[in-house]
Chain A
Amino acid sequence: MADIRVENLHKSFGDFVAVKESNFTVADGEFFVMLGPSGCGKTTTLRMIAGLELPTSGAIHLAGEDVTFKRASARDIAFVFQLFALYPHMNVRKNISYPLENQGVPRSETRTRVEEAARILRITHLLDRSVSGLSSGDRQRVALGRAIVREPLAFMMDEPLGALDSELREVMIGELRALHDRLGATTIYVTHDQTEAMAMADKIAVMNRGSIEQFASPQEIYDRPASMFVADFIGDPAMNLIPFQAGLEVGQAHVRIAGAEIAVPTIREGVAETHLALGARPEHVALVDDGGLRGEVYGTEYLGTHQVVTVATYEGHVRAIVEAERSVRVGANVGLTFRPERLSLFDRGSGRAVSTDWSLGGPHHG
């Protein structure tokens, strides 16, 4: 097993920059997820780490060794492809054992290892079947089998659950995480699906247009988004970003939006008068009859355990999560209040979060 260190990794295709000065370290045994919208450079990063693509500049260290220019076949990394890439002319057993074939692994050992992998993935009964008749879930398991049978230094997985329907995906999320806990292998997992990322990751890198916007634990990313992009991308419903204009002074703990005084975490960074945004998760927004930021109920979405209420204010739509029992009338004039210590502030010009007690890692208040 091994740690992976990526330094200033850069990749351009002609004029187009696919990956921009990427830096991160994946600790030994960590489940690391690269999360971002389609086209943001996740696959390209993964392919460079695996040796399928040469970086334009930068370095990749695997288990302390510089492998930047090493051949893919010499890196001892397993890759699970977005298309499963099972060899159609081989049966399941042959597909799984294929990586062992040229490593001089004795026949009897190959057999035991393939069967062990099949047992872990619960596909023993499929071993002698052809891959063409398999369901996508089973194909996924065969692809994983081919990866784990090698006992490689690290696993790369490129949207391995993308082809599965949502029910099966949920099952596989659980299985993948359990598999990781069991094998303890360093894993880099690429997805555009925040649910997968949140459910499995030890660490997440949120990527946007070739750059890593934030590199942190799932909780950190959810609670303290480092940029407006992350705030908007993570969470369903997404974080409310309420625009306003102001200057901020160190020590200040209030902002004024449309006449309403809103308490925020203590500011730790002076900001000259500019366009800002207040970031509030819907679960940290409450409806009140009097006071607060005024608006009109625009719509409600009943979800059983709670309901999502959308309020139209002069600053735009704001969503709040409200108890399921409470009756909310569309068109009603309501006020919005916010849980002060959990709010984020963003500079709309740069998109970066403004430093506050909260963003700098203030204690979780439950």
Chain B
Amino acid sequence: MTTAAHSVVEPSPRSKAIAGTLVILYAVISMIPLVWIGMTALKTPSDAIAYPPKIIFTPSMAGFCDLFTTQSRQTEDYIKTLPPPTDTCDEITRSRGLVTAGPSNFLPRFFNSFIIAFGSTFLAVALGTLAAYGFSRFKVPMADDLLFFILSTRMMPPIAVAIPIYLMYRELGLSDTHLGMILLYTAVNVSLAVWLMKGFIDEIPREYEEAAMIDGYTRLQAFRKVVLPQAATGIAATAIFCLIFAWNEYAFAVLLTSGSAQTAPPFIPIIIGEGGQDWPAVAAGTTLFLIPIVVFTVLLRKHLLRGITFGAVRK
């Protein structure tokens, strides 16, 4: 019996090639929907539903125009009486026998998403970090039970608590408010934040704070100046997870928002209904919706990859 020597350090060129191919294949497959959405956003409505699908097409701003404006159908004669179009969108719209009626709700909805997602992320990470520090450094009675309880809030599907929350929010006047949505997403995310941050803070030797406290700093000062900088990596990772959840959340947003506090996820599908199946507008909305989270992740990527203690503690 002969077994090839297994090297832990260096995989064979063949297995490397196979692994590489698989990874690339997976990346391509998962990129296809994104590319599809990006392309659709730049098509005209008729190109978007053409069969077989058009890979090569003339880019059009129609999708973005439809996304940002509302339009009304007018007779050709009426359109002719109008002053010349002021911008490209006007032009595109009129060529389809429509007139721009005013700005759509997309920007305010997008802005709502921004406030609610970042607001709740900030709160969840801040509360989670403080709670995790407490659990990590102090003797908390029944700490394990409490931690399990905190985690268990994340175990049930949102639909299970949808109705009570809906009723409570209506009673408290929190329905369709920014505050209500921020509190809700914070409550959901804080459990994740506590658990993630506890792991990161446990990794930071308590000697650092003790050194600072012996050197005359209060615990709070030591926390701020010694623990927080070293927890930056964990904070960044936790913030990304919280933000992704809050940014993408759909079920509660549909249930609890409809007007002034509506976020982008429930808004984008509504576009479909306005004046036929306007896929380019939906795709344009989705594309824009993806951008902030990508930017945020890329900005924090360095933090995510950096080691936690930088090797300054002796092993």
Contact = CB atoms under 8 A, between A and B. Distances in A.
Contact of B214 (A78, A87, A88, A136): A78
B25 interface: no
A72 B211 CA distance: 10
Interface string B201-233: 000010110111111111001000010011000
Contact of B313 (A71, A75, A83): A83
Interface stretch (A95-103, A203-211, A219-227): A95-103
A77 B205 contact: no
Interface size class of B (residues with CB under 8 A): 20 to 34
Nearest to A74: B216
Interface in A84-106: 84-89, 98-99, 102-103
A81 B210 contact: yes
A87 B314 contact: no
A98 B222 CA distance: 11
A282 to B, nearest CB: 35
Residue among A79, A85, A102 facing the most chain B CB atoms (10 A cut-off): A85
A272 B300 CA distance: 77
A146 interface: yes
A79 B213 CA distance: 10
Given A81-B207, A89-B229, A150 B215 contact: yes
A13 to B, nearest CB: 10
Contacts of A75: 214
A132 interface: yes
Contacts of A139: 312, 314
Contact of B216 (A50, A73, A89, A131): A73
A146 B314 contact: no
Interface size class of A (residues with CB under 8 A): 20 to 34
B276 interface: no
Residue among B211, B217, B221, B309 facing the most chain A CB atoms (10 A cut-off): B211
A51 B216 contact: no
B138 interface: no
A136 B314 contact: yes
Contacts of B211: 79, 81, 85, 87, 146
B173 interface: no
A319 B246 CA distance: 74
Given A83-B205, A132-B310, A52 B214 contact: yes
Contact of B210 (A79, A89, A99): A79
Contacts of B208: 85, 87
Contacts of A150: 215
A78 B217 CA distance: 13
Contacts of A71: 213
A258 interface: no
Given A79-B210, A87-B208, A87-B226, A99 B312 contact: no
B230 A88 contact: yes
A163 interface: yes
A131 B226 CA distance: 15
B311 interface: yes
Given A84-B314, A99-B215, A52 B230 contact: no
Given A81-B211, A85-B205, A103 B216 contact: yes
Contacts of B311: 88, 132
A137 B60 CA distance: 66
Contacts of B212: 98
A47 to B, nearest CB: 8
B230 A102 contact: no
B214 A50 contact: yes
Contact of A88 (B210, B218, B221, B312): B312
Contact of A72 (B205, B213, B221, B309): B213
B230 A89 contact: yes
B83 to A, nearest CB: 61
Contacts of B310: 88-89, 132
A116 to B, nearest CB: 18
B230 A85 contact: no
Residue among B214, B215, B226, B310 facing the most chain A CB atoms (10 A cut-off): B214
Contacts of B207: 81-83, 85
Interface in B213-257: 213-218, 221, 226, 229-230
B314 A163 contact: yes
B216 A102 contact: yes
A83 B208 CA distance: 9
B312 A132 contact: yes
Nearest to A162: B314
8 contacts: A73-B214, A83-B313, A85-B205, A85-B313, A86-B312, A87-B211, A102-B215, A150-B215
- Of all A-B residue pairs in the complex, the 5 with the closest CB atoms, nearest first, are A99-B215, A88-B312, A85-B207, A88-B310, A85-B211
Interface of A: 50-52, 71-73, 75, 77-79, 81-89, 98-99, 102-103, 131-132, 136, 139, 146, 150, 163
Given A73-B214, A84-B313, A139-B312, 12 more contacts: A52-B213, A72-B210, A73-B213, A81-B207, A81-B210, A81-B211, A82-B207, A87-B229, A88-B313, A102-B217, A136-B314, A139-B314
